[in-house]
Structure 1
Amino acid sequence: MSAVPPFEERSVPVEGGDLAVLRWPAASPDAPVVLALHGITANGLAWGAVAEALDGRATLLAPDLRGRAASAGIRGPWGIGHHADDAAAVVHALGAGGPVVLTGHSMGAYVSTVTAVRYPELFSSVLLIDGGVGFPPPPGLDGDALLTAVLGPAMQRLSMTFASRQAYRAFWQAHPAVGGGLWSDAVDAYLQRDLVGEETALRSSCVLDAVRTDGLGVFDPDHLGAVHKLPTPSRLLLAERGLLNEPQPLLDASRVAAAGVDTLRLPFEVIPNTNHYSILTAPGPAGRIADALIL
């Protein structure tokens, strides 16, 4: 079973509090630095399999974004732009002021596009993973309905309680995109990092207001437009399947084309036999990501 390699946990002052940052150091001081941003209800340990695949070829910095895991104590402000400012603060504090490689998964990919446009001097390249390209929402759909339509069970989980860590583990092991042959010690560690509270009433660390604000912020026209303005060499890796391991992925060639993405400036590749989660957490795809980060 793949396990998360040892990491350091650092703290970076940001507006509203201190941001927790997981740091996997490189074997050489001359190795590149990678800043990795997780998805909307995830945490920094989502990058554990990528850290293992990098195997010291780069220093990997993976913050718990504000409102999640060890950064849940930051009580706002929320929003994609604030995550971008936090990302810049991490580079200044732990990445020698850049330029570093920037990558993001899911919502983290949208944050990455905004961050790269806002702070072009800090980043040498951008790798987007199953996110960063989007569309305006259908007219007439209210905020909660929109988030439920996009995130589904992920939103419902934030209001649930669990009697034990094993109960939370069992909940995820039954998930069609995470359980079964996709389960590993690294996946377990990442998911367990999310839990707070006491046994009989454990819950997700994610601050619901933060998730709502960030989720709706993805559809902001300025944020959607950032992918068309990326100032550095960039690439996009897509999962073959969706959030629940369904055949329709979040993004595919037709959706990338419909969003008007210039694929000469942002070439994309579909990673076979992956879903929205396993593209990041399964050893094979994580190895593809690691190699792409240090090209």
Structure 2
Amino acid sequence: MSRTSQNDHTTDRQDSTDAPAHEELRVVVPGGELAVLRWPAVAPDAPVVLALHGITANGLAWARVAHHLAGRVTLVAPDLRGRGRSGHLPGPYGVAAHADDMGALADALDLGRVVLTGHSMGAFAAALTAVRHPDLLSALLLVDGGVAFPVPTHLEPDELISAVLGPAMRRLSMTFPDRDAYRAFWRQHPAFAGAWSPWVDAYIQRDLVGQEPELHSSCRIEAVRADGADQLGEVVAGAVHRLPLPAVLLWAERGLMDEPQGLYDEQRLCAAGLNHERVQPRFVPGTNHYTIVAGDDGARVVAHHLLAAAGVVPAGN
């Protein structure tokens, strides 16, 4: 039976970002403990949002969304298996493992039904969680992910992941002499041009592990490979067509490198064959794949949709 570990329940205040305080918990899952961030609601009986991050990210990717949720719901955001402070967890990896970890997490923390959301790969994991654990959720929000998009078919899996993720993937095999060097690496990423903030800095610094002068990403490359390959398979890519309840898909205007072509557009969504009575796409202008959650404007939109799904604010575009 999964449980919350004792003696590892701390509070980390992001004073420089004006973000609400979050707690850090450890939840027992197969193979070890999952690190979980929790931003508690002001009201003890408030709804719960369970948020899953992207393929090389960590739970602090949701900090700016937490800022806009402003304590009206409890936000729970794990470092997924093989990333962040869950980087030590062994395999088997893959999107199904994330889905089952979410079932164990919900049991351990006695979350009840949650508003489930995921960004990028986390959206695929959220969709599969909904299929495998339908009693876990009351609503589902997918953020720039969860729906298959066109990818080159002539590349090997590692080449394909690198082609899609760019610097985010290449850093996994790099070392950095200190934290400033890692910060400088990320500040050159075109997706964050003009969008750097203390939220982004805290998120990227959480990824860094090891000792100077050989600091490195916490992401286990075998976990990233497994998740990347899974997104191309029918079980994971097809989950969005088998959802047990309706969902909303928020899609960013621009791509991972802030290029004009985002992961989605009207034509790609049409080609995906979505049942729009089950999955309702909503365009989020002025955002790219990262800033839809890490930028202020994008995080505000995501938070509004989460609050609407939780019944805290009226629904609307």
Shorter-normalised TM-score: what interval? over 0.9
Alignment of 1:139-178 (within 5 A): 139-178=153-192
CA contact (8 A) 1:2 1:283 kept: no
Match of 1:187 in 2: 200
Separation in 2, partners of 1:279, 1:210: 24
Separation in 1, partners of 2:138, 2:18: 30
CA contact (8 A) 1:3 1:186 kept: no
Tell me which stretches of 4 or more aligned residues in structure 1 moved more than 6 Å. none
TM-fit CA distance, 1:264: 2.3
Separation in 2, partners of 1:68, 1:249: 25
Match of 2:226 in 1: 213
| One-letter amino acid of the structure 1 residue matched with residue 218 of structure 2 | S
Match of 2:4 in 1: none
Match of 2:124 in 1: 110
Match of 1:266 in 2: 279
CA contact (8 A) 1:49 1:280 kept: yes
Match of 1:52 in 2: 67
Structure 2 residue 15 is matched with structure 1 residue 15: no
Match of 2:314 in 1: none
Residues 170 and 4 from structure 1, CA distance in 2 versus in 1: closer, same or farther, beyond 3 angstroms? Answer: farther
> Which residue of 86, 107, 110 maps to 1:92?
107
Separation in 1, partners of 2:235, 2:257: 29
Separation in 2, partners of 1:83, 1:254: 30
RMSD: 1.3
**Scaled by the length of structure 2, what TM-score is found?**
0.89
- CA deviations on 1:141-183 (whole Å, 9 max, x unpaired) are 321222122222221111111111011111111111013x201
**Scaled by the length of structure 1, what TM-score is found?**
0.96
My pick for the range that moved more, 254-263 or 57-66, is 254-263
Match of 1:39 in 2: 54
CA contact (8 A) 1:16 1:77 kept: no
DSSP-derived class of the 2:192 partner: coil
Separation in 2, partners of 1:92, 1:254: 40
Separation in 1, partners of 2:192, 2:295: 9
| One-letter amino acid of the structure 2 residue matched with residue 110 of structure 1 | F
> Which residue of 135, 140, 145 maps to 1:131?
145
Separation in 2, partners of 1:192, 1:148: 21
Separation in 1, partners of 2:149, 2:302: 25
Structure 2 residue 279 is matched with structure 1 residue 251: no
Separation in 1, partners of 2:293, 2:152: 29
CA contact (8 A) 2:49 2:306 kept: yes
> Which residue of 213, 227, 248 maps to 1:200?
213
- CA deviations on 1:250-285 (whole Å, 9 max, x unpaired) are 111111111111122211111111000000011221
Match of 1:30 in 2: 45
CA contact (8 A) 2:80 2:86 kept: yes
Q: Which has the higher contact order (CA 8 A, sep 6+)?
A: 1
TM-fit CA distance, 1:31: 1.0
- CA deviations on 1:214-267 (whole Å, 9 max, x unpaired) are 111111111111001111231000010000000000111111111111122211
> Which residue of 292, 309, 314 maps to 1:279?
292
Structure 2 residue 235 is matched with structure 1 residue 222: yes
DSSP-derived class of the 2:54 partner: coil
DSSP-derived class of the 1:294 partner: helix
TM-fit CA distance, 1:137: 5.4
CA contact (8 A) 1:33 1:59 kept: yes
> How many residues get paired?
293
Separation in 2, partners of 1:81, 1:128: 17
Separation in 1, partners of 2:177, 2:78: 28
Contiguous gaps of at least 5 residues in structure 1: none
Separation in 2, partners of 1:138, 1:171: 27
Residues 136 and 216 from structure 1, CA distance in 2 versus in 1: closer, same or farther, beyond 3 angstroms? Answer: farther
| One-letter amino acid of the structure 2 residue matched with residue 253 of structure 1 | E
> Which residue of 68, 82, 88 maps to 2:83?
68
| One-letter amino acid of the structure 2 residue matched with residue 194 of structure 1 | D
TM-fit CA distance, 1:138: 4.9
Match of 2:301 in 1: 288
